[in-house]
Amino acid sequence: MDLRTKIAQATKQAMKEKDATRLSTLRLINAAIKDRDIATRGEGAETGVGDAEVLAILEKMVKQRRESAKTYEEGGRLDLAEQEEAEISVIEEFLPRRLSETEIDAAVDAAIAETGANSIRDMGRVMGTLKSKYAGQMDFGAAGPKVKARLAG
């Protein structure tokens, strides 16, 4: 079952259960996906975005909410920070399980071996391999320095 179908079913379920917070977050997800569909249609795409693109949208939404929650906490608005955290938990239901640090290290090593990378100039290829295999499972902002350290050392 693709992500769009899962999100649509979750939206229907939230409506039935009258879960306002969950429903509003799911509607935000659907709106973001539809926005991307419209943008790709303008670029000549026949169909909407695929699961990989939906994962990227969800990742971006989680990142935005984490930044907002941090800002709210620093500003003393704990009520708004809690609301952002609640939205994060709903969005993360549709993301794959996050890799642990050990799994990330192993994935970085495997990607370096697979691409035959041996210098910093090969970092783009390694990151591209990681992004294609581990979309939604890995924080690439944290993986980048690991790749750089291995290629530099």
Q: Which of 44, 60, 92 is the last residue of a domain?
A: 92
Distance CA 150, CA 120 (A): 9
Same domain, 75 and 114: no
Query: Residue 30's domain is classified under what CATH number?
Result: 1.10.1510.10
How confident is the model at residue 144, as a pLDDT?
85
Same domain, 84 and 125: no
Which carries the bigger pLDDT value, residue 153 or residue 18?
18
- On the 0-12 / 13-18 / 19+ scale of CB atoms within 10 A, 22 is buried
Same domain, 76 and 135: no
pLDDT digit string, tens, across residues 15-65: 999 999 999 999 999 999 999 988 888 776 667 778 878 888 998 899 899
Nearest to 95 by CA among 47, 139, 130, 36: 139
How confident is the model at residue 64, as a pLDDT?
94
Same domain, 81 and 132: no
- On the 0-12 / 13-18 / 19+ scale of CB atoms within 10 A, 47 is exposed
Domain range holding 24?
Answer: 3-92
Distance CA 96, CA 19 (A): 23
How confident is the model at residue 143, as a pLDDT?
83
Same domain, 112 and 76: no
How confident is the model at residue 45, as a pLDDT?
64
Same domain, 60 and 131: no
Same domain, 84 and 29: yes
Same domain, 86 and 105: no
Q: Which of 72, 92, 112 is the last residue of a domain?
A: 92
pLDDT digit string, tens, across residues 84-114: 999 999 998 998 888 888 888 888 888 888 8
Instruction: Count how many domains the chain has.
Output: 2
Residue 120 is given by DSSP the state: G
Query: Residue 120's domain is classified under what CATH number?
Result: 1.10.10.410
pLDDT digit string, tens, across residues 109-149: 888 888 888 888 888 888 888 888 887 788 787 788 888 88
- pTM of the model as a whole: 0.72
How confident is the model at residue 96, as a pLDDT?
82
* DSSP annotation string for 79-119: HHHHHHHHHHHHHHTTSPPPPPHHHHHHHHHHHHHHHT--S
Distance CA 142, CA 93 (A): 22
Same domain, 148 and 109: yes
How confident is the model at residue 122, as a pLDDT?
83
Distance CA 68, CA 70 (A): 5
How confident is the model at residue 123, as a pLDDT?
86
The secondary structure element, H or E, covering residue 52 is helix 51-74
Same domain, 72 and 108: no
Same domain, 60 and 126: no
Answer whether 99's CB lies under 8 Å from 137's CB.
Answer: yes
Q: Which of 51, 74, 92 is the last residue of a domain?
A: 92
**What confidence tier does 9 reach under pLDDT thresholds 50, 70, 90?**
very high
Same domain, 67 and 126: no
